[in-house]
Structure 1
Amino acid sequence: MMMVKTNELLRKGEVLFLSYQLEEAYAIFSELAQEEEPRAMYFIGELYWQGFGLASVNHVMAYEWYKKGAKLGDPLCQLCTLLHMELDSKKDSKDEKIQEKISDLLPTLENMAKAGDAFAQYELASVYVGKSGITIHHHSSTHWMQLAASQGHYGAMSELVKSAYADKRFDDAFVWCDKLAHMGRVHAMYSLSTLYKEGLGCDKSEQQAAIWLEKAATAGYAKAQVELAVYYEKQEDEDSALFWYEKAAEQGVLSAQVEVAYAYMGTTVVAANHEKACYWANQAAKQGSRDGKFLLAQCYWEGLGVDMNHALADNLLTELANTQEADIVYSVARMYAKYGVEEKAQTYMIQAAELGSKEAKTIIATNYETK
């Protein structure tokens, strides 16, 4: 009776997993794993390996779960431990017996796949595509991947999208992208938007492209957030553009941080907010952005959003000038000239000219003629 209940719970967890209801699936698999159910350990490993439904990807934790399941005899866990042997500090990932052990597992995996196990079909397809060093069998790989995808395995669907893109089979790419997008996969939402935008594998539709782009952005996909911000800029909707740039900036997207900093400096119709401008300029500068450093130097020099501090501004400008890039050094010279620091302005203008800046050469020549 206990075995029947375990199997029912396991099946329920698998259905939830395939439906992308991952928190509910994880709860079931965790309960089953505590009861030493090895198949559940495979799914927990998968959730950690991909970061599905969890805070972040954790390959080490995933591997530990695969190992637990493998010791209890689960074939999928056994395969995954062999595929990711580099994570085992006690074993040599270059062990020649690994491929032999994988080959020994293939008959069992084939039987599971033939019986309709979508997860065995997916793992078998991954092996046959050359993932493990086993001789590549493209036909077998495609066969099992398609069967797994037809049962709703989103990993298999994603692989089919990749191969369809690579082969420029956009009709197939659209079919699988559409399924994944409706399952809530953000990468697929973004890709589907692109397919609609370009009319690849479907009728071109700017409306559908915008709908799926916004869905991907709302789901937190940073690349979609930036693209949506650009879209609103073209529509001259600066408030919406800033909203999405700021969302992407919060995720650490450098270009978005710079855009937000510029916007809050009052360079657009958005009301100036120098404290926010300084904050985002600083975030961008920390990532090495030259625009961020210039904006931050301006904030410190003029006391915009921060206490005026010429020493910090000077440090930033010196750091920029040390790049020895003509355009950058020229901009440093212009900024010093703007703030009336003539000696440094002249020094860096000459340096910029020597580095090949046409603008610097013109200014120096003009000043010489004036004298």
Structure 2
Amino acid sequence: MSKEKFEEALQLASQDVEDAQLRLAEMYREGIGIEKNFAEALFWYEKVASQGDALSQLRVGMIYLMGDLGVEVDDLKAEYWIRKSAEQEESYAMYMLAMLYFDGTLEESGIPQAVYWARKAAEKDNIDALDLLTSLYIKGHGVKQNFSTAVEYCRKAVEAGHVGAQMRLGTMYFHGRGVEASVEQGLYWTEKAAEQGNKYAQANLGGIYYEGLGVAPDAVKAVDLLNKAAEQNLVKAQLYLGSIYEYGAHNLPADVSKAAYWYRKAAEHGNKDALTRLKNMKSGSNLRLSMKPTLYLVE
């Protein structure tokens, strides 16, 4: 049956039936009715893209950007196809073009172009673009810092279900940025994001439970949350855990071996503070360079 479907798709694709060309590309990619052949898959994807299909242009651009289908990463080809798609107002393509400018992959214009394309994507309610603009307005990066505008973008992203935006909204409530400060609302949105696996929210919530901000202090619960974030390679959480285990706190005894483990993990990611603390512990010095952890919410 798969072989017959492949033959049918091949015949229709040869007659320039766009839907059949896409099916054929997928069949070559997945090995359905034919041996996997990434070169043929790319050929048919590019054929559809060259005919002006915005989603196919985005797909081909992402293939070159990520080095998918066995091709070498090619930023120029990635930009070419993603821009083609963005110019047709495909929302995710506009967001990706913003990110290419934002991370420096594209040299020309830089941040102003990143903001331009992010706004274009946000107008199409692209949730990643909404979250990016939230971050830019919080930090004043490429735009004039404006917490009220950040909240506007953030709420739109939250309404669309963006987990990272839920975390950001929580921190804005804690800091009172663009909204009236509210520990209750801060906790609500931070917990909501943490429950969905957001490592930054997990780290923030861990710090909140350690400090007892709006909740009863609970070092055990704090460590559980921080562990979840640290296991996702969030260096701040690894450093925080090391400090908690070095000193012990509330209902959690000190554990030097666990402190060293998490300092080492953070140091492996280039954190100089963790390296200093680790060396100090190994030296047996009475001078305690490390400080007890204090809450700093990740944004």
Give the structure-1-normalised TM-score.
0.52
Q: What's 1:230 paired with?
A: 135
Structure 2: segments with no counterpart, 5+ residues: 228-237, 261-276, 289-299
- 8 A contact 2:3–2:33 mirrored in 1: no
Match for residue 169 of structure 2 among 253, 257, 260: 260
Task: Say whether residues 1:356 and 2:259 are aligned partners.
Answer: yes
Asked if residue 192 in structure 1 is aligned to residue 97 in structure 2, the reply is yes
Distance 2:163 2:212 in 1: 19
Determine the C-alpha separation between the residues in 1 that align with 2:173 and 2:123: 23
| Counterpart selection for 1:111 from 11, 19, 40 | 11
Q: How far 1:285 sits from its partner (Å)? A: 4.5
Question: Residue 339 of structure 1 corresponds to which residue in structure 2?
Answer: none
CA distance in 2 between counterparts of 1:129 and 1:122 reads 11
Amino acid in structure 2 at the alignment position of 1:292: L
The question of 1:146 aligning with 2:146 is answered: no
Equivalent residues of 1:190, 1:212 under 8 A apart = yes
Pick from 107, 121, 126 the counterpart of residue 26 of structure 2.
126
User: Hey, what's the Cα distance between the residues in 2 that align with 1:141 and 1:354?
Assistant: 52
For these two proteins, the number of residue pairs brought into alignment is 243
Query: Following the alignment from structure 2 to structure 1, what is the Cα–Cα distance between the partners of residues 245 and 259?
Result: 15
In structure 2, the CA distance between the partners of 1:207 and 1:290, relative to structure 1 (3 Å rule), is closer
Other structure's SS at 2:114 match: helix
Matched with 2:114 is: 209
Distance 1:217 1:147, change over 3 A: same
Q: TM-score, normalised by structure 2?
A: 0.62
Report how far residue 329 of structure 1 moved.
Answer: 8.2
Tell me the residue number matched to 1:276. 185
Give the corresponding residue for 1:24: none
The answer to whether the 8 Å contact 1:172/1:201 transfers is no
Please state how far the C-alpha of 1:137 moved relative to its aligned partner: 4.5
Q: Flag the 1:110–1:254 CA change in 2: closer, same or farther, 3 A.
A: closer
Which residue identity is paired with 2:204? Answer: D
How far apart are residue 149 of structure 1 and its match? 1.9
- Take 1:211 and 1:140, find their aligned partners in 2: how far apart are those partners? 36
Q: CA deviation at 1:188?
A: 0.7
**Residue 152 of structure 1: SS of its match in structure 2?**
coil
Identify which of structures 1 and 2 has the higher relative contact order when contacts are C-alpha pairs closer than 8 Å and 6+ apart. 2
Could you say which structure has the larger radius of gyration? 1
Q: Give the one of 288, 292, 295 matched to 2:205.
A: 292
Task: Please give the alpha-carbon distance, in whole angstroms, between the structure 2 residues aligned to 1:116 and 1:271.
Answer: 58
Q: CA RMSD in A?
A: 4.0
More helix by share: 1
Paired AA for residue 151 in structure 2: L
Amino acid at match of 1:241: A
